[in-house]
Structure 1
Amino acid sequence: MRSRHLLLLPAACLLLALLPGWTAPAHAASGRLVDDYRSVYGTPGVAAAVIDGSSIETITRGRDGDGNPVTPRTRFRIASMSKSMTAAAIMLLADRDRVSLDDPVVRHLPAFTMADPRFTRITVRQLLSHTSGLSISTNDEYVFPPPRTAREVVAGLAGKTLAADPGTRPEYHNTNYSIAARIVEVVSGRDFDAFLRAELFEPLGMTGTGSTLGCSDRAEGLSSGYEVVLGLAVATAEMPGSCVGNGGVISTLDDMVRWLRFNQGTLGTSLLSARSLAEMHTVQPRAAGYALGWQARPASAGSPAPVIGHGGTLATWTGDMAFAPATGVGALVLTNSGGAPGLLAANLLAERAGAPATPMDNPLTVVNAVLLGLTVVMAALLVTAAVRARRWATRRRAARRPRLVLRLAPLALVTVSGVLLPALIGIQSGAFSFQYWIVVAWLMPLLALFSLTCCALGAVALARRLWCLRRAATASG
């Protein structure tokens, strides 16, 4: 009787392995990689998984924004990993002959217009592969307040131009996916979140997954993410932004495992045709390695199989997903703070392949330490300049005007630099706006503090020197 039970044990284990929710115990090496990552980046909460054939290994560490332990059912914002779901929604419509990837966008969105005649040539495929010609240089995505709906995003393009001919140059631009979300809404007759829930999430058993229009919208069961600076983690609201179609999905580790298995072709096989699923994972022409909501990644050392994946980054949430179509091995990482989850996902895949892990290092630790040091030094110098302004003015009350201007120029330069520095962040992508102060305050708070110190204390020191000069001149007159 006992021998019969022993014979049945392998079969029972195989059956469990095939169940969607079955998870294997965490490998010690995988757990160490997650622990090392948290140590390097100060991440408060991590939920990770490795899928290897029919087994699913999960690793959860830390806490959510409410202080509760992270579990496989903890909700995370998945940011730009949402793009794979928008692409799948389009492919569902393509399977039903409602949309073709090579249709002009204007065929499905008559209200879509731009101040550039080339916009009529943009196709659905070019939206999903970021080759539409839309660019941050001509369409600033960091405006405040941000547009709320996909309809508003499309309407806001009426006065904009393209940076390149459609289909000729890749540029990752979130607006592409908001337009794609609007196509889903118009063609299906349902709002975007309702379509995703009914056509993707519910059929795949992703019961903890939904989406929001804004990046900072409240959602049931979602606690706040964290800002982590020099090891100090502070629960913080997400930066406002338009996330519809491009980054608004909220999910759990359990559900994202289902999503990855669907893309691997082992779950929900009747939901999307094999041809459409393969198209989503195929690098598109002139797209610099981008497929449709997925990206090709170079194979890591010791793992020759090609890997596709996609990361997601918001101010207080980051994540990554990747898998090798040839081997069936995949990795998922969800975190509730900034960091480099793509590196952790790559290391989890490398560990499973028996390859060495890439050392983890957080360059922001040095950057933030330098910024903090500069802020302290600058604050000390400017406060000293303000306190000693009367003595400075007394010594220079008889100086000629040109010399005084030169003496005051450094303080004026510090003040103006403090005002402009956050706004100049957008110059690298062709945009200049004082609204980037908001972006910098969320993404690099110590840079914002340094800039605020320069402009505020610099202005105080400059004003006090001018006031003291005037008083000194009056007294001597």
Structure 2
Amino acid sequence: MRFLPLRLSRVASLLVLGGVLVAVLLGWTAPAHATGERLVDDYRSVYGAPGVAAAVIDGASVETIVRGRDGDGNAVTARTRFRIASMSKSMTATAIMLLVDRDRLSLDDPVVKVLPDFRMADPRFTGITVRQVLSHTSGLSISTNNEYVFPPPRGAREIVARLADKVLATAPGTHPEYHNTNYSIAARIVEVVSGKSFDDFLRTELFTPLGMTDTGSTLGCSDHAEGLTSGYEVVLGAAVAAPEMPGFCVGNGGVISTLDDMVRWLRFNQGTLGANLLSAASLAELHTVQPKAGDYALGWQSRPVTADAPPSVIGHGGTLATWTGDMVFSPKTGVAALVLTNSGGDPGLLSTNLLAERIGAPATPMSNPLTVVNAVLLALTVGMAALLVTAAVRARRWASRRRAARRPRLVLRLAPLALVTVLGVVLPTPIWGAFSFHYWIVTAWLLPPLALFCLTCFVLGAVALGRRLWCFRRAGQATSAPVRPATADS
């Protein structure tokens, strides 16, 4: 009897081993499916994304994973509409390649040849080619062309017209800098060469032939679109439905689509759908890293599966204030992954992990650095508010103690409050690269806790500083007022 536990353990081991062998022979895929779902659930828990739609394409099979709710509180499905942000660039580049295939233009044509109205206050602009626009090597830069202007321009024509007084940061074809205006120029090229509006060209020449019936585009990032609900702002796990930040998105980020349609888009780029729409050479060119462009191709980027690995996959992400997404595929294995979310986050990490899990590569641990950043900013805001309110409340006592202080010493004692007040105004500047009050609006949408901290510093700092000066002046007037001599009646 003492050998019975040993025998039972051997039987159990044999049963487990037999089950594993049967699963392998039958091509059991439940663990991979479970792993994909776990990755999506982990992502939602880390980033607090209210709604996620994800897919993994492996040969003829498509695994879809949908979680959460849309801006109206309805369950996310494979036909829920999302803004795909800069993933739109792959479609703009493809629109250009359609015109290349039709001999309407060449990638190496100067932009001024196909867009005669294109002007800049820099003689080097005549050397910008269509290829350089699509590969972000045109020389356009945020340092010389502020893209966050309010109100934003309407349409590609106006975006191009506003470049007339701008200069280039570098010579065309010498330096890569990701700049959205490049793709608005590309959208204008499509309009001028085709004679159609950009949205109409995409719909009739690209989306409809591919069966992407729920996909369309808008000129502005916040324009109304049928069937599109609001996205979300998420701060420390709290999600609030919010309108998208106004901005120009034509050509660079205005496409709205669904998981089902984006699966078709990835299949097209893998060469398994719509083979007659674009030549094989043009499709390959879209995915080829361009000269002097770093890791950028044409509307796509080359990237590694893991941080320390060489680039082996092609992908592109998209980020707006309340929408993010990412798509990636492996030309070698044919496996692709797609993620759409209705909030901020790092969907590129999730899509790469979904692809890595399917091809047997290690996944990258997920963490949200903004959780710590936002917590620190909120703590600083509370602490700063307490200090500034205290300074304002005690301003009279402060003034009475410093009535006899010399002016230089008084200025030094007021300097900290003045510094805090100025800090509230200029703090967003180092983040975006140049001083502009427009960046206050950008900060309010993209980093709400930072905007709250800046507002606290500016408003309460100014109140405390003003109250100290007012109380000091009153205290001085009281000191200098003549004292009336006492009378017999008093």
TM-score (norm: length of structure 2): 0.90
Q: 1:285 aligns with which of 283, 288, 291?
A: 291
Structure 1 outlier segments of 4+, above 6 Å = 301-305
2-side partners of 1:295 and 1:357: how far apart? 20
Match of 2:472 in 1: 469
Write the distance in 2 (CA, Å) between the matches of 1:443 and 1:113. 32
- Secondary structure, aligned partner of 2:164: coil
Deviations 1:306-342 (A, max 9, x none): 2000000001100000000121100000000010000
Quote the residue 1:132 is aligned against: 138
CA deviation map 1:367-419 (0-9, x unaligned): 00000000000000000000001111111111111111111111011001111
Task: Give the counterpart letter for 1:119 in structure 2.
Answer: F
Match for 1:96: what amino acid? R
Q: Which residue matches 1:384?
A: 390
Three-state SS of the structure 2 residue aligned to 1:333 is strand
Once residues 346 and 417 of structure 2 are traced to their aligned partners in structure 1, the CA distance between those partners, rounded to angstroms, is 38
Q: Describe how 1:81-230 pairs up with structure 2 within 5 A.
A: 81-230=87-236
**Deviation of residue 354 (structure 1)?**
2.3
Report if aligned partners of 1:26, 1:59 keep a CA contact under 8 Å in 2.
no
1:246 aligns with 252
Identity of aligned residues (%): 81
Tell me how far 1:133 sits from its aligned partner: 0.6
**Could you tell me whether the CA contact under 8 Å between 1:135 and 1:162 is conserved in 2?**
yes
Question: How many angstroms does 1:179 deviate by?
Answer: 0.3
**Cα offset for 1:426?**
2.2
Q: What is the TM-score when the length of structure 1 is the normalising length? A: 0.93
Aligned to 2:24: none
Q: Tell me, which stretches of 5 or more residues in structure 2 are unaligned?
A: 1-29, 481-490
* 2:79 paired with 1:73: yes
1:443 has 2:446 as partner: yes
**2:47 aligned to which of 23, 41, 50:** 41
Q: How far apart are 1:25 and its partner, in Å? A: 11
Query: Residue deviations 1:275-323, cap 9 Å, x none?
Result: 1000000111110011000000124389988200000000110000000
Mapped partners of 1:164, 1:302: distance in 2: 30
SS at match of 1:322: strand
CA contact (8 A) 2:305 2:352 kept: no
Confirm or deny: 8 A CA contact 2:129 2:138 kept in the other structure: yes
CA apart distance, 1:143: 1.0
Residue 263 (structure 2) pairs with residue 260 (structure 1): no
**Partner Cα separation in structure 2 for residue 287 and residue 255 of structure 1:** 29
Q: Partners in 2 of 1:292 and 1:217 — Cα distance?
A: 26
Amino acid in structure 2 at the alignment position of 1:89: A
Tell me if the contact between 1:303 and 1:350 (Cα under 8 Å) persists in the aligned partners. Answer: no
| CA distance in structure 2 between the partners assigned to 1:42 and 1:449 by the alignment | 20
Gaps of 5+ in 1: 1-23
Contact 1:318 1:339 in 2 (8 A): yes
CA distance in 1, matches of 2:172, 2:395: 59
Contact in 1 for aligned 2:421/2:458 (Cα 8 Å): yes
Letter paired with 1:179: I
- What is the 5 A alignment of 1:426-441? 426-427=432-433, 431-441=434-444
Question: Which position in structure 2 is the counterpart of 1:453?
Answer: 456
Higher Cα Rg: structure 1 or 2?
Answer: 2
User: Residues 66 and 224 of structure 1 are in contact (CA less than 8 Å); yes or no, is this contact kept in structure 2?
Assistant: yes
Q: How many residues align?
A: 451
Task: Please tell me whether residue 56 in structure 1 is matched to residue 62 in structure 2.
Answer: yes
Equivalent pair of 2:428/2:440 in contact (CA under 8 Å)? yes
